[in-house]
Structure 1
Amino acid sequence: MRVVIEKPPEGGEEELIVRVNQLSERVLELLRVIQAEDEKLMCYHEDGSLSVLCPSSVFYFESVDNRVYAYEKAEVSELKQKLYELEQRFAGTDFIRISKSMILNLAKVERFAPSFSGRFEAILQNGEKVVISRQYVPAVKKRLGL
């Protein structure tokens, strides 16, 4: 496969052209990743204000008491989506389910460490530690190529 990268003319719009003989699952996955990078999420704050959240800044999504929160480096925002909706929306990207109540951004993980009872622990770039449930460890290992 040949890859060509060109800079658009000054003021020109960026575009991605894909020429394939057959649309494979690998190409579709790459397209999903590229499209997910442009997606934005609406966040709701306690004071009633709204803001736009870029998914690449999210360390993980967590469901607590039927509410879903997005955890960034130093900020937590509430989302209106359900956790399974976020999992579907970001399928094929760096986000992966690590427990019934959490989706982790693998791009924000500094390292992994084994934990008790077959669980793993992910140490994030901000120093926070999250537990990967025993049930989800095989999927994480597969995604990491282990």
Structure 2
Amino acid sequence: MKITIENIPVGSEPEIIIKCNEPDDALLQLIYSIKSASKKLIGISDSQMHIINPKDVFYFESVDNKVFIYCQKMVYQSKLKLYEIEAEYENGDFFRASKSTILNISKIESVSPIFYGRFEALLQNGEKVFISRQYVPVLKKKLGL
């Protein structure tokens, strides 16, 4: 792969041009990473709005029609619906782990099979999250298995 960087006049908008025969999954992932680098989430805690980097999110969970954002030490409420979050971040490290959970694959420490085809993910913060059997193939695809 050839990479070329050119200086542009001050005040010009940076531009990325990709030349390829057929974009593969790795290239699409790279494009998504570049596009999403500036995306931020808004989380609410104690009546204050916090700006959250999606890379800091361990998982999203829907409970009683409210969506919560779980980070290393804090939990925030989101105004977004789970399906909106899934659509926004599905091309990145996030995947639907169950009907009520979207999990950040980069925050998984280990995965182990449990009863009835379900998996249990141990996260880097010590929490355990269940992955429903219908979403296990999605996890395997994200892991390249």
TM-score range, shorter chain: 0.7 to 0.9
Length-normalised TM-score, structure 2: 0.87
Cα distance change of structure 1 residues 98 and 28 upon mapping to structure 2, 3 Å threshold: same
| Contact 1:96–1:140, Cα closer than 8 Å, also in 2 | yes
Q: Distance in 2 between matches of 1:39 and 1:64?
A: 24
Q: CA deviation at 1:49?
A: 1.3
CA RMSD of aligned residues (A): 2.4
Counterparts of 1:116 and 1:13, CA distance in 2: 56
Gaps of 5+ in 1: none
In 1, distance between residues paired with 2:119 and 2:69?
21
User: Structure 1: how far apart are the matches of 2:54 and 2:93?
Assistant: 10
Change (3 A) 1:5 1:105: farther
The residue aligned with 2:30 is 30
Q: Following superposition of structure 1 onto structure 2, how do residues 1-146 of structure 1 map, counting pairs within 5 Å? A: 1-4=1-4, 15=14, 17-21=16-20, 24=23, 26=25, 27-45=27-45, 47-146=46-145
Q: Distance in 2 between matches of 1:129 and 1:13?
A: 47
Matched letter for residue 112 of structure 2: A
Counterpart-to-counterpart distance in 2, 1:126 and 1:37: 23
Residue identity in the other structure for 1:78: Q
Q: Cα 1:132–1:14, aligned 2, differ >3 Å: closer, same or farther? A: farther
**Secondary structure class of the residue paired with 1:104:** strand
Moved more, 88-97 or 21-30: 21-30
Dislocated runs of 4+, deviation >4 Å:
11-16
Instruction: Give the superposition deviation at 1:118.
Output: 0.7
Query: Which amino acid is the alignment partner of residue 53 of structure 1?
Result: I
Contact 1:67 1:78 in 2 (8 A): yes
The one-letter amino acid paired with 2:143 is: L
What secondary structure is seen at the aligned counterpart in 1 of 2:31? helix
- Aligned partners of 2:77, 2:89: CA distance in 1, in Å? 17
Query: How many angstroms apart in 2 are the aligned matches of 1:74 and 1:14?
Result: 37
**Distance change (3 Å), C-alpha of 1:120 and 1:20:** same
Identity across aligned pairs (percent)?
48
